[in-house]
Amino acid sequence: MLKIIVLIIVCSLFFSERDVTAMTAEDISVDGTAVVMPVGRVLLIKKNEYLAAIKFVRNEIREDGVSSKYEYYEYEKGAFLRKKDDLILRKVPKKTFWYNLTSFFFHGVAVGPSRLKLSSFILCIDAADESHSTVYFWGGDCYREAKPDQKVQLAPTPLMNISQVDVNNEKIRWFGYKEQNERIIIPIDKIWD
């Protein structure tokens, strides 16, 4: 029973909904555990020599939650190649007795993020609201045993098209996992300033 309580507390800390209310539709948020990206912009993903990109194309508020359509690319032979398009869904839990009880104690029940399967590893991703999606520095089982990946780095870009990405651009700012890191909010068009 104690393990279940600890699991609920950990999940509520790491996978609780990000406070996107303080952000405009064109802001990004970076903290030690995740990058929250505006829809329509390219986010670069790097681990060792591996380079990829994700673009959240469209988010929609639905009756059962928030859905996010994304495009995923891998960098091969000097170019980004589209590997897949997919959809994630942040489900809204039904307002049951258990939900109300845990919401009272833990300020909302954490609904686990989805898994983004990359070439040789997994990252957790989530739909935040109609204008933002989240990519965590966490991998593995996004619901139970997510672990920070110290080698993963994420770089938000102001670019709307993958063909505009120059991997040698010195303005690209890479962020990685940090246990204690304050959250910063930056207008996406100022990320390279």
Q: What is the pLDDT of residues 110-130, one digit of tens each?
A: 456 788 888 888 898 988 888
- How many distinct structural domains can be found in the chain? 1
Q: Please say if the pLDDT value at position 16 is more than 80.
A: no
Note the pLDDT of residue 11. 46
**Taking a C-beta distance cutoff of 8 angstroms, is the pair 65, 59 a contact?**
no
Residue 124 included in any domain: yes
* Sign of the alpha-carbon dihedral angle for 152, 129, 183, 99: negative
The answer to whether residue 165 is domain-embedded is yes
Q: pLDDT at residue 22 above 90?
A: no
CA 182 to chain centre: 17
Query: What pLDDT is stored for residue 159 in this prediction?
Result: 97
User: Does residue 75 fall inside a structural domain?
Assistant: yes
User: Residue 34 domain-assigned?
Assistant: yes
The H or E element spanning position 2 is helix 2-14
Within a domain: residue 139? yes
Helix (H/G/I), strand (E/B), else coil: 167:
coil
* pTM of the full structure: 0.78
Please, are residues 140 and 115 in contact by the beta-carbon 8 Å criterion?
no
Largest Cα–Cα distance of the chain, in whole Å?
A: 54
Q: Which domain holds residue 151?
A: 20-90+112-190
Determine the number of helices (DSSP H) and then strands (DSSP E) in the chain: 2, 14
Give per-residue pLDDT as tens, 141-183. Answer: 776 677 888 999 999 999 999 999 999 999 999 999 987 778 9
Query: Do the domain assignments include residue 105?
Result: no
Instruction: Kindly give, in sequence order, each residue whose CB lies less than 8 Å from that of residue 129, ignoring residues fewer than 6 positions away.
Output: 20, 59, 61, 66
Specify if 133 maps to a domain: yes
**Residue range 38-63, pLDDT digits in tens:** 999 999 999 999 999 999 999 988 88
Q: What is the Cα–Cα distance from 176 to 154, expressed in whole angstroms? A: 6
Q: Which DSSP state fits 171?
A: T
Q: Is residue 5 part of a domain?
A: no
Q: Is the pLDDT of residue 99 over 50?
A: no
**Identity (one letter) of the amino acid at 76?**
E
65-76 and 79-91 strand pairing: antiparallel
